[in-house]
Structure 1
Amino acid sequence: MKIQEIYYEKDIIELTKDGVTLGCATICINPGYIERCTPYVEGTDTGLCPVTISTESKTTQIEIAAGYDTVTEIDVVANFGLIRSVEYEKVTADLKACADAAHKYGLTGYEPRGAAPDVVQHMMDEAGEKCKIKGSGCIRTREHFLQLISMISFDVCVRR
């Protein structure tokens, strides 16, 4: 479940409660929502998953988010400008910095939002067994969905 920045605080709280009721493994949120959402996921099987942006802000946000017991994974969004420019070494360096920061605290989670299967495969090859890749967001066709589902371990998406 992903909570966007456009919601009012009352909406954020209701959507968080809905995610818990539905048994979502995690609720993806802006890092600024951690304190607002924590009371509603504490003591449940649902965790929070802050979404990060640039390498510096990602690693800083990971450090901050790791201080909350309710944060169970980090949603690291790859730099698609670099991916589209086939700058895979820079993408790998960015993701490695984030993975290193997250793994210090036992946090995992990468979401290849709308990435082409060859890019997802590259991410999986680079990550190895260090993290799981979850496929969500920007899936617009059944073919793309089925291709991702055959590649990715979806047990990180929903836990019941």
Structure 2
Amino acid sequence: MKLNEYIDHTLLSAQATKLEVIQLCKEALTHNFYAVCVNSSYTKLAKEVLAGSNVKIAVTIGFPLGAVSSTTKEIEAVQAFKDGADELDMVINIGALKNKDYEKVKNEISDIKNLKSGKILKVIIETCYLNPEEIVKASELAMQAGADFVKTSTGFGTRGASKEDILIMKETVGENMRIKASGGIRDRETALDYIHLGADRIGTSSGIKIMTETP
């Protein structure tokens, strides 16, 4: 297993600068990470720096709250694709899930997925705000809507991923979807633990530390 190929090298802070995003992309090239993950305003810049490489560009949509309108998310997604995004990491409408407005949640996911054939959609369900039953339901809705990944966290909630989250999500989606663990993953041991539990991708801002730690 090549750990670098599981990592989405991430910079999503509100104060992220152009130079920091360029550095992120250069680090991803050096370590051959699977992708960088950036806010949508930096899609074009990431595309320029990563041109000609195998590193994918993952772009956040409706981030970090998920509470903007479905139309706003679609507009942001369309622009991200125009600017060069390969993958989208979209936050669900958590309030709608809590309201049991499951059709709204599912339709929003499917509408984003159907915008661009062949592009990867990861659905962030923000597990820190959900009980186990809601994690199951959110994972089921993402699966039914045709998303490619269900993802634990934005990294901006009250906590990031947990082993319990991954186990619940894996039991729910099985081999029908992939899982991205993100939020609070700052060392090699934690990243490997999540992969062994069933995560197919790791979202982290500590990719360099993880890769340079002694196994």
Alignment TM class, shorter chain as reference:
0.7 to 0.9
Aligned with residue 11 of structure 1, among 5, 12, 20: 20
Q: Compare relative contact order (CA 8 Å, sep 6+) and give the higher one, 1 or 2.
A: 1
Name the TM-score, length of structure 1 as normaliser. Answer: 0.79
State the Cα RMSD in Å.
2.4
Q: Specify every segment of 5 or more residues in structure 2 that has no aligned partner in the other structure, as ranges.
A: 1-8, 63-67, 128-134, 154-158, 180-198, 203-215
After the TM superposition, which residues 20-99 of structure 1 pair with which residues of structure 2 at under 5 Å, given as runs?
A: 20-53=29-62, 54=68, 55-68=70-83, 70-99=84-113
User: Secondary structure at 2:164's aligned position in 1?
Assistant: helix
CA distance in structure 2 between the aligned counterparts of 1:121 and 1:50, rounded to whole angstroms: 23
Report if aligned partners of 1:62, 1:102 keep a CA contact under 8 Å in 2: no
Q: Specify every segment of 5 or more residues in structure 1 that has no aligned partner in the other structure, as ranges.
A: none
CA distance in structure 2 between the aligned counterparts of 1:13 and 1:114, rounded to whole angstroms: 28
Aligned with residue 117 of structure 1, among 126, 136, 140: 136
Report if aligned partners of 1:13, 1:36 keep a CA contact under 8 Å in 2: yes
CA distance in structure 2 between the aligned counterparts of 1:135 and 1:24, rounded to whole angstroms: 18
Name the TM-score, length of structure 2 as normaliser. Answer: 0.61
Aligned with residue 10 of structure 2, among 2, 24, 27: 2
Structure richer in strand, relative to its length: 2
CA distance in structure 1 between the aligned counterparts of 2:150 and 2:139, rounded to whole angstroms: 10
How far the C-alpha of 1:136 sits from its partner, in A, is 4.1
User: Secondary structure at 1:86's aligned position in 2?
Assistant: coil
